Structure 1
Amino acid sequence: MRLASGPARPTIVCLPSMVAPSGPHNFARLALHLHGRRDVYALPHPGFGDGELLPATADLVVDLHAETIARAFDEIPLVLAGYSSGGWLAHAIAARLETRGIHPRAVVLLDTWLPGDRIPEGDIQEELRGVALNDQAFALMTEAQVTAQGAYLDLFEGWRPTAVNAPVVLVRAMERMPQQAVAENPDGEGQAWVTDWVMEHERLDAAGNHQTMMNEHAASTAAVLHQWLTELERPTELERPTELERR
């Protein structure tokens, strides 16, 4: 689904969260503030729509998205951007594309934590309500959406990122949400909702929390992302043509 258009390159291809309500609408406000600057697309995950089959394996999801991207964006410079748990897919798809000789310009992780980071125990209704944009979004969560959320989180429970050649940038929300308060797990290992990746990556700060960075503060998040991508595409001193070459 095309969400925005603009002249700057690379194109952004977005992967929504695996948490209900999931879909291209996760990026609606971000894309609004990138419109006129660069192209933005989003891919829905199979199984989140009514009547859709759920994927049998995590690899199948990655393969399906990689095939779609390879076909639709052939020879178009692009970055893969994943919001929340969608960052796992963005990273996995980048790795899969690189094995096929397709090289994304970058992987953007929008407040993404690793699968091993745990959400504090609590009532599932309250957790879903906390992730939803508002009560209206919570009310619109379908049975298919909630079922798909459980299936996807199970499929990717043991997933861990592998090295990619593309630069990786983690855009972290500067504020933690109340249900994301850092707390020791019962087994004493790790912390809740920690958005730190041990692999090499850059880190940018975005205004707001996990929700508001994509909504109330979407303009700021869009500006931070657009600026980083602009710098990414700017030629280095070694790449710039000399005066003699320009002649």
Structure 2
Amino acid sequence: MPLLIEASRFRPSFTSPAELGDGDGYAVRLASGGAAGADRPKLVCVPSFVVGSGPHQFMRFADRFEGRRDVYACTLPGFRGDEPAPASWSAAVDLVVASIRRVVGDAPIVLVGYSIGGVVAHAVAARLEESGAAPAGIIMIDTPTPEDERASNRVFSMVMTEILERGDQGIAVDEANWLAMGTWMRLLAERPAARVTARSLLIRAGEPLPTSAAGQHWPAWEVAGEQAEVPADHFALIEAAVDQTVAVAERWLGA
């Protein structure tokens, strides 16, 4: 992993969203709320930055909200072919914010971050609050702590082991994806602390990954105002057990 992180430093990079346009294509709609969702905050999903991640991770999650809420999902910068990578954590967050605003305008939103994407969603929420456009809430789905380097390395090892074991999932693991992950891991270590006042929920996985060693626990990021647990593993939360995850999210959204 250290070699991957160092190699990522040699990628072309951008320091401002203006260098890439206005965020076009970095956020897509996955579900339409129709008339029922017109007055409800839109859900904006932020994926992990592990190889193979992207908006597709939220397809099942979004499908459960069809006809009830608009659901969008972001692509993190650096993962689209040979595009430049963000030069800093701030540049990355700025582009995600720009891409969100391009598709939802000033409409109220709830950010939904999966896995380490919850840290990105949290940073986006902080940036929106700074601009006076605070989100209506943040939902973090089994987000691990970014504040302990050893724990982070252990999490990435656990997740990558599982991803490689699941080699039939058709995920992209090309060179660009690996370098993009290296970039984001490097930026994660450099990120400044951010304070968020919006309502927040952490949905935790109640079961370990199948490839986890005995006694190997998932170091959750304990920043959310509320927590709930779903009896499923990290990947199942947005796959086989997505109905339970959505049920927890809906109860919280309606509270």
TM over 0.5: yes
Moved more, 81-90 or 136-145: 136-145
Query: What is the one-letter code of the residue matched to 2:76?
Result: H
Contact 2:205 2:231 in 1 (8 A): yes
User: Which residue does 1:215 correspond to in 2?
Assistant: 239
Question: Does 2:230 correspond to 1:206?
Answer: yes
Moved more, 151-160 or 58-67: 151-160
Q: Which segments of 5 or more consecutive residues in structure 1 lack a partner in the other structure?
A: 184-190, 232-247
User: Which residue does 1:24 correspond to in 2?
Assistant: 55
Shift of 1:112: 0.1
CA 1:15/1:5 → structure 2, altered by over 3 Å: closer, same or farther? Answer: same
- The alignment's TM-score, normalised by the length of structure 2, stands at 0.78
Query: What does residue range 119-198 of structure 1 map to in structure 2 within 5 Å?
Result: 119-120=153-154, 127-131=159-163, 134-137=166-169, 140-159=172-191, 161-181=193-213, 193-197=218-222
User: Which residue does 2:8 correspond to in 1?
Assistant: none
Shift of 1:138: 5.8
Shift of 1:152: 0.5
Q: 2:127 aligns with which of 86, 96, 100?
A: 96
CA 1:149/1:177 → structure 2, altered by over 3 Å: closer, same or farther? Answer: same
Query: What is the one-letter code of the residue matched to 1:45?
Result: L
Q: Which segments of 5 or more consecutive residues in structure 2 lack a partner in the other structure?
A: 1-27
Shift of 1:63: 0.8
SS of the residue 1:2 aligns to: strand
Shift of 1:141: 1.8
Shift of 1:206: 1.9
Distance of 2:107 and 2:81 partners within structure 1: 32
User: Which residue does 1:118 correspond to in 2?
Assistant: 152
Contact 1:20 1:149 in 2 (8 A): yes
Distance of 2:68 and 2:209 partners within structure 1: 30
Distance of 1:85 and 1:129 partners within structure 2: 16
- The alignment's TM-score, normalised by the length of structure 1, stands at 0.81
Query: What is the one-letter code of the residue matched to 2:47?
Result: P
Query: What is the one-letter code of the residue matched to 2:219?
Result: V
CA 1:102/1:129 → structure 2, altered by over 3 Å: closer, same or farther? Answer: same
SS of the residue 1:228 aligns to: helix
SS of the residue 1:118 aligns to: helix
Question: Does 2:31 correspond to 1:4?
Answer: yes
- How many pairs does the alignment contain? 221
CA 1:139/1:89 → structure 2, altered by over 3 Å: closer, same or farther? Answer: closer
Distance of 1:132 and 1:227 partners within structure 2: 34
CA 1:71/1:127 → structure 2, altered by over 3 Å: closer, same or farther? Answer: closer
Query: What is the one-letter code of the residue matched to 1:169?
Result: L
SS of the residue 2:240 aligns to: coil
Contact 1:70 1:97 in 2 (8 A): no
Report the aligned-residue RMSD.
Answer: 2.4
SS of the residue 2:77 aligns to: coil
User: Which residue does 1:230 correspond to in 2?
Assistant: 254
Shift of 1:19: 0.5
Shift of 1:46: 1.2
CA 1:58/1:182 → structure 2, altered by over 3 Å: closer, same or farther? Answer: farther
Percent identity between matched residues is 36
Contact 1:180 1:193 in 2 (8 A): no
Shift of 1:121: 8.9
